[in-house]
Every structure is written in C-alpha cells, then in structure tokens.
Amino acid sequence: MRTHHQSARKNQFISHSIRQWLGASSLGLIALVGLSSVAQAQTKVVGYIPSYKNMPAVIDRTDLSKLTHLNLSFLNPNASGAVTSGGNPVCMEGASASDIHYVVNKAHQAGVKVLVSVAGGVIPACSGNWQTLLQPANRATLVNNLLQFASTFNLDGLDIDIEGVVLTDIDNAGNYTPFIQALRNGLPAGKLLTSATASYVGGMVPVSSLPYFDFVNIMSYDAIGPGWGQAGVEHSPYSMAVSDINIWKARGLPKSKIVLGVPFYGYGFNGYAAAYDFASIVGQFGSGAAQADVIGTRCAGCSYVTYNGIPTIRAKTQLALQEGSGVMIWELSQDIAGANNLLAAIRTQIGNTGSSSSSTATGCPAWVSGQNYIAGNKVTYQGGYYIAEYDNPGYTPNVSTYFWEPIAASACGGTSSSSSSAAAFTRLIQAEAYTAMSGVQLENTTDAGGGQNVGWIDANDWMAHANINFPSSGTYKVEYRVASPSGGSLSLDLNAGAIQLGQVNIPVTGGWQTWTTVSHNVSINTGTYSVGIFAPAGGWNINWIKFTKL
C-alpha cells in the first residue's frame, strides 16, 4: 500500500507482505446545462495501479471511462540513478516495458492521462538510496533519467511519492524542492507533475514545493493499521478527510490543486485478517457490507474491520468537489465489479453534483428547440426531461451513453430556444447518491436514463443526502420518481428530522420497475441541509428526487 502511516512518526513502515495482502465503451461525462467540458476536465479521478498487481490485467477489468488519470506505481532508480536497463525498468516490481506500453496505449485510447509514480511508501531493496541520489552532485542524473523514462513510454507526467522518513531526510538536507523544481523545468509543456503526500508533521511535502505541482494527492487514510494507531479507531473516517483538507488549505494549497485520496481497502483486528481489499470485504461479509464502514464492534480490544463503504466514498467525493478538484484512489485492483463498484459510485456522485450545480446556475439550455445535436451530440426528449446521446470519437469502441438533463421542458416555457423563461432553481438528486442510510439497498433500474435506484425499502428505513443547498426561501415543488407493486408512503425532512416537510402516498404502479412521478409542495428556508427520506410504510423503490422553486 502506498501511503503514510501514523506509525511513520515512530519510523515504522508497512511491510511489503501487507502491501501484497491489500490487493490479494465510452462514458463521456458532459454537463448539459452550462457546465463546460473544460470545467469537467478539471474534476479529477486519479487511480493508482501497483506494478506488482499485474497492471495489464487490472486495466483490462477497469472501466477507464470513469477515470481521468492513471498512476503506475512504483518506479525507483538503482544506485547509479538509472531507471531502465535493456529497455525495461530496473526497479518496478512485476512491470516490463511491454506491460507499461500496453497500459499507456489502452488508457490513451480512453482519453485517460497516464503518469508513473516514483518512490512509494516502502522503498524496495532494488532501489538506490534516495537521500544520496538527490544530493546536488547526483540530482541531475536522476532527473534526466526520469524525464527520459516519461518520454520513452509516452507518459503524461510524473507523480512523486516520496514519503515518511525518506521525505523528511531529503527535505531537511534542502534537496526536495530543488529536485521538484528541476523536474518541472525539464518537463515539456503540457506534461504533469503531481505529488502524493500525508498530512502529519514529518510526512508532508514542503510548502516551498507546492507551486511546482499541477495538483497534490492527499493520502487521507491509515489512521490505524497492523502495528500502528490507536486501538478502536477507523482507518479513514470522513472527519479525517475534512481535517486533512483543512491542513492543506492552511498550508496554501489552492482548491484547484487539492485531490482527496480515498481507500479501496481496510484493516482487521483481533481475529480478523490484518488487511482486506474492498472486493474481499463484500465477498466475505455480503453486499450489505458495501453500505457500511465497519464489520463487528469498533472499540479498543474488539474484533472489527474498518474500511470505507459506498456512502462514505460518496460523501468524501462530494467533499472533494466542494473543497478541491477531485478524488484519488488507492488502488484500483481492490475494487469489486457490479452494483457495489466504488469507482462507479465516485463517478456517479461527480455526475450528480455536476448536473445539479449547472442546472441551478443557468436554468434552461440554449439548445432546447429545433436542434437534434449539440456539438455533434444527439439530444432527445424523454419523460419530461432532455437527454443527450454523447458519442466521443476519441474513445474505442465508440459507444453512445445517455445522461439526464435535470431541467423539465415545462420549466423552460416550451421548447423554444429563444425563450427567456427559466426555473429559478431546479435540482435533481439521484436517490442512490445518499451519504447515509439505514436498511436500503441498490439495484439496477430500467427507468429512463438507466443507472441504479434505491430499493428493499421497509417501514422505518431511511436515506439522507448531505449538503444540499437551497439558495432562497419559499415554496418548492418536490417530485419523487417511484415504483411499487402495492403502494406505501414517504416523508421528507431536513437535518435528521429536525424540520419535517410532509408526507406523500406512493401509489400502486404495477411493479418494482414500473415508474411514476408523485409530488407535493413544501416550504424551505434558505440554507444548506441534509435532505432525508423516511419510509412510514415500505414496499416501494425510488430513483430520484427533484426540487423546483415555485
């Protein structure tokens, strides 16, 4: 695992064997209401693939359309500062030149940028001494070799992941920032230089280096693990992400350079295995574990497994978009395929946030009437909403993908592109994008637009969507996309029931995937709330919720 550990304060590092345990179509994301492709490109989803995990196999099973950047980890120099020999990397466990070329070519076909990550939390035996190699007399040799490596393999940049005691020694000798500056000066225009860093004293890259990085991946995890940390704590709670972001904001790192790291793995204690990837957690403990963060009882001396489930990954993604420019993942081989895929949860959360904020800002799209295409993308009208069919010719194969446009035609005063009428505020929230819940599960939906819906809703089950902002006080129409074979009821509240907004009846629709829309009007004051949906009577599914200011 590539990360700092709290034990690094004691000069302890996770062993290579535990690192091994931790891993034992186009999707062109566009915002259809004023969110430019440039803005979307700034939302980063950075995934690491360890070289020792069979990189070609991992990339073959990864949905690259959900990534923006891929970091291949880790490359180290030998004692002379060389990073290749006979065309192959000298110290990049399990990776050959052909592996790297395969991964880079496949990622580039999908429009994903590829960097090589240098060093790592555990420096392998094949590596030269970093402290020596970065001394002024030796630095230029290593810098030139790294730059040549990036050029030879057609990489989009370098990710510097020097950590812990090694980082501290190099920085104390005054050699870290000059190394970063030399890399920046040597990289061609358009090539990226990034960093991965911890957030504890002695494990953070120096402030003087920050101007040279395009962005910084904050490793917000490993508060506890095998052999370090305070017994009973979680290894990567939401509060840790908030604290770490605040640390880097205070150090002067701008929002555009903050990328929040999230873990696709967990740790076990007192009878459980020492380490788990997320796929193993769901495989061993069942699909319900995907909606939690802890297996067992979390306390000092208790038996438990600590990790991040889908709700926490979604909440952290939302935090990363509010306070930074994206999400970093350690690491992609640890994810699970299917409905509980964490990468899909991240991308869904980014898509939901993008559509919501764009609809609030600009109202109706300029391309509503008389146009079947916008920039080559087919636009159709289905079920009261606009949908764009987006073909990205840069991807192979070239497959159409649908995205919801969260503005109803009725809110735009018809389909005239010259109409100036627009809803003052409209926000569509996908039900499955909850940040907390009790009792519910997810399933694929056949409703228009695809994706997932929330189901298995029984009496007293609930879900909450945090940090929903209402820009003005007044009356809002709230619509719910629901399906039910027998009917039920739903109530809406704010801030965990502190504000009750009313109840609606769920009609009999004829089946679990036979959808209809019900609504009621509520009064909401200006503010940011956690929006809660509670089931007084269960037996229904929900796909989305939409707020429109009247």
Same domain, 417 and 432: no
In a domain, 4, yes or no: no
Same domain, 151 and 267: yes
- What pLDDT does residue 542 have? 96
Give the domain-ending residue among 326, 349, 373: 326
How many domains does the chain fold into?
3
**Ranges 127-131, 245-249, 425-429, most confident:** 127-131
Element (H, E) at 143: helix 136-152
CA atoms within 13 A on the CB side of 443: 14
The answer to whether 238 and 435 are in contact (CB under 8 A) is no
Is residue 118 predicted with pLDDT exceeding 80?
A: yes
Contacts of 164 (CB under 8 A, 6+ apart): 4, 5, 8, 11, 13, 121, 198, 202, 203
In a domain, 393, yes or no: yes
Q: How does pLDDT run across 384-413, given as a tens digit for each residue? A: 334 433 333 332 222 233 233 333 444 344
Residues 249, 245: Cα–Cα separation, whole Å: 6
Same domain, 465 and 530: yes
Is residue 79 predicted with pLDDT exceeding 90?
A: yes
Binned at pLDDT 50, 70 and 90, residue 447 comes out as confident
Binned at pLDDT 50, 70 and 90, residue 353 comes out as low
Q: How does pLDDT run across 41-54, given as a tens digit for each residue? A: 469 999 999 999 99
Domain boundaries, position 210: 43-326
What share of the chain in percent tops pLDDT 90? 68
Torsion of CA 217, 222, 228, 232, to 10 degrees: 150
Helix (H, G, I), strand (E, B) or coil at 406: strand
Same domain, 405 and 449: no
- What pLDDT does residue 470 have? 85
Q: In whole numbers, what is the pLDDT of the chain averaged over residues?
A: 82
Same domain, 412 and 445: no
The burial of 548, by beta-carbon neighbours within 10 Å (0-12 exposed, 13-18 middle, 19 or more buried), is given as buried
Same domain, 298 and 375: no
Binned at pLDDT 50, 70 and 90, residue 550 comes out as confident
Same domain, 157 and 214: yes
| Cα dihedral across residues 327, 151, 131, 120: positive or negative | positive
Same domain, 454 and 413: no
Report DSSP letters for 13-50, one per residue.
---HHHHHHTT--------SSS--HHHHHTSEEEEEEE
In a domain, 244, yes or no: yes
Residues 121, 3: Cα–Cα separation, whole Å: 5
In a domain, 501, yes or no: yes
- What pLDDT does residue 352 have? 61
In the structure encoding, which two tokens stand for residue 343, read together?
């990468």
What share of the chain in percent tops pLDDT 70? 79
Binned at pLDDT 50, 70 and 90, residue 108 comes out as very high
- What pLDDT does residue 194 have? 98
Residues 460, 388: Cα–Cα separation, whole Å: 37
CA distance from start to end of the chain:
51
Report which DSSP code applies to 396.
S
Contacts of 321 (CB under 8 A, 6+ apart): 43, 349, 350, 353
Mean pLDDT, residues 171-188: 97
Is residue 147 predicted with pLDDT exceeding 90?
A: yes
In a domain, 35, yes or no: no
Task: Tally Cβ neighbours within 10 Å of residue 60.
Answer: 12
Could you tell me which residues are beta bridge partners of residue 488? 506
